[in-house]
Amino acid sequence: MSELKGSCECGEVTYSVKGPLRPTIACHCTQCRKTSGHYWAATQVASKHLKLVKDGGLKWFRSSARARRGFCVGCGSSLFWQMDGEGTTSIGSGTLDDLPVGAATVDKHIYVADKGTYYNLSDGLPQLDGG
Ligand SMILES: [Zn+2]
Ligand SMILES: [Zn+2]
């Protein structure tokens, strides 16, 4: 895949990615619901394929003992998630610009046991209770 660009809403965080994108996974866990206001849908790349172009607004929040979330302090966009020691970065798929149709399409829902009560999932994709 050729290089793709992405950004937060206000533009204080911009990045580019090269290399294969994992299909997007929609996570319905409580942390993802809190951080995004709904559920969080993210693709993933090897961290070495992610280049931060502008990171003035980027702040990392330690969301659990083994993971952290990257967000923009200017606009609150939820951009990244990293598990310690894995060498990968999950990227909120909605922060990518000009994602080609068919690239990084959602292929499953995880932590559905924790999902919000106010919506139904009816897209026919696999639904896992855990991760
Ligand atoms: Zn921003
Ligand atoms: Zn989650």
How far, in Å, from the CA of 123 to the mean position of ligand 2? 19
User: Residues 44, 131: contact at Cβ < 8 Å?
Assistant: no
As given in the structure block, the two tokens for residue 105 are 């399409």
Ligand with the closest atom to the CA of 73:
1
How far, in Å, from the CA of 79 to the mean position of ligand 1? 9
User: Is residue 40 in some structural domain?
Assistant: yes
What is the pLDDT confidence band of residue 74, given thresholds at 50, 70 and 90? Answer: very high
DSSP symbols for 96-128: EESPPTTSS-EEEEE-GGG--TT----S---B-
User: Residues 79, 98: contact at Cβ < 8 Å?
Assistant: no
User: Is residue 108 in some structural domain?
Assistant: yes
| Predicted pLDDT at 49 | 97
Structural domain total, the chain: 1
Q: Is the pLDDT of residue 73 over 80?
A: yes
How far, in Å, from the CA of 26 to the mean position of ligand 2? 8
How far, in Å, from the CA of 113 to the mean position of ligand 2? 11
How far, in Å, from the CA of 99 to the mean position of ligand 2? 22
User: Is residue 126 in some structural domain?
Assistant: no
Ligand with the closest atom to the CA of 36:
2
DSSP symbols for 2-14: --EEEE-SSSSSE
User: Is residue 124 in some structural domain?
Assistant: no
| Predicted pLDDT at 91 | 98
Q: Is the pLDDT of residue 113 over 70?
A: yes
Domain that residue 90 falls in = 4-114
Ligand with the closest atom to the CA of 109:
2
| Predicted pLDDT at 47 | 97
Q: Is the pLDDT of residue 1 over 70?
A: no
User: Is residue 119 in some structural domain?
Assistant: no
pTM of the model: 0.95
79-96: pLDDT as tens digits: 999 999 999 999 999 999
| Predicted pLDDT at 87 | 97
| Predicted pLDDT at 2 | 81
User: Is residue 91 in some structural domain?
Assistant: yes
Residue range 100-127: mean pLDDT, rounded:
97
What CATH number is given to the structural domain containing 90?
A: 2.170.150.70
Q: What is the CA radius of gyration of the chain?
A: 14
User: Is residue 38 in some structural domain?
Assistant: yes
